[in-house]
Chains A and B, each alone.
Chain A
Amino acid sequence: MADALRPDEQTSMIGIGEYRVGSFPMMTIGLGSCIGLTLYDESSKIGAMVHIMLPDSAGRKDRPGKYADTAIPLLIKELGIKGAKTKSLIAKMAGGACMFEYFGTNLNIGERNAERVRAILKAEGIPLKKEDVGGKVGRSVTFFPANAGKITIRRADGTTGEL
């Protein structure tokens, strides 16, 4: 990938439970069982990215980006305010891994996160165009809304890919 876009000082870093909406580059590093979810409207080149940690908010409202069930409706709303067309939104996600096998046997949070995101997107009528989830591998994800919504993924072993 000689023409690969790279994160620069303009890139907004998104920590656990945080989200951004806009057309600037955005990045989440070191996704394990967490999910990096992007929503993108091609016509306006506006996108949103969130770093989801858990499937369910159980009624909590103070950190909506932390949970799948509160994060997705929030992103849709904020994208609408910024001028994105809700009907043309497409979603992509990465993460949802199980980093420690022993602990994973009783409680696979990564898998539950991914399932919940899929279910909520379906209910909201947003197509999930691509995903790179599961396995026992950490991922860093960079999202470039201004460049046709391009997404690059980097793994701990240095391998990169596009989503």
Chain B
Amino acid sequence: MKLSTVQADAIQELGNIGAAHAATTLSQMLGSAVEMSVPAIKAIDISELGSYMGEEAAAMVAFELQGEIPHGGYIVFYISRESAIRLTNTMLGLTDMNRTMNEMDESALLEVGNIMVSAFLDATAELLGFIMLPSPPALTIDMAHAAMSSLVAQMGEEIDEVLLFSTELVCEEHKIDSDIIMMPENTTLARIVELMENMMKGI
């Protein structure tokens, strides 16, 4: 679906609130400040996805959006492989950057992804009264395009264009750069837009 400027602004605001909560939890876990970008909304033709998400290695913790709408799309905690090692090193008190990632890293990343995405979705639920529950998390550490395109392939509605809502979360002190990326199904998107519009009418 195509978004008007007002609708895009509304969703950006929703992303802002969700990401602010996620940033707070990340900041608490790391014990240092976390900055967030203004949420970006991109409509990308599937044939162009490779220009946004390429061969770079990243850790991605993916959740299906469930709840009121059973298969509502996906939300992903995305972190480059280097940042992921810095993140788990910080959490586990390690310093070696040139190590292979192990089960401990994986469970730490799953946990961080879980906490951040839950914070994001809690905040949006509180704002809109629209419940999106995260499924159990699934982690992959691989090429960004391989993982993200696999999620697009299993979207319920067939799409030629994917809508990405992403907010960057950066911790300067530990040089950790991550993103929360939401890929809603059209049904989810329509519901969010409707609720945001109703809310703004009430103001």
Once A29-B54, A140-B55 are accepted as A-B contacts, the answer to whether A53 and B138 lie under 8 Å apart by CB is no
What DSSP secondary structure best describes chain A's contact surface? loop
Give the B interface residue count (CB, 8 A).
33
Known contacts A110-B150, A139-B146, A156-B143; A30 and B138 CB within 8 A of each other: no
- Give A29 to B148 CA distance when docked, in angstroms: 12
Do A31 and B146 have beta carbons less than 8 Å apart?
yes
Interface of B is mostly: mixed
* Interface residue stretch chosen among A40-48, A82-90, A95-103: A95-103
- A34-B153, A109-B153, A140-B55 are contacts. A99–B50 as well, Cβ < 8 Å? no
A-B contact count (CB 8 A): 110
Which range contains the number of A residues in contact with the other chain?
Answer: 35 or more
Taking the complex as formed, is B193 at the interface, i.e. its CB lies under 8 A from any CB of chain A?
A: no
Interface residues of B in 147-167 (CB under 8 A from A): 147-154, 158, 160
Whether B138 contacts A33 by the Cβ 8 Å rule is no
In the complex, which residues of chain A have a beta carbon less than 8 angstroms from the beta carbon of B147? 32, 99-100, 138
Q: Let me know if A100 and B143 touch, CB within 8 A.
A: no
Q: Which residue, B49, B136, B139, B143, has most C-beta atoms of chain A within 10 A?
A: B143
Taking the complex as formed, is B53 at the interface, i.e. its CB lies under 8 A from any CB of chain A? Answer: yes
Tell me whether A134 is interfacial, beta carbon within 8 Å: no
Q: A18 to B47, Cβ gap below 8 A?
A: yes
Which of B141, B145, B149, B150 lies at the interface centre, i.e. has the most chain A CB atoms within 10 A of its CB? B150
Contact of B55 among A18, A29, A99, A107 (CB under 8 A): A29
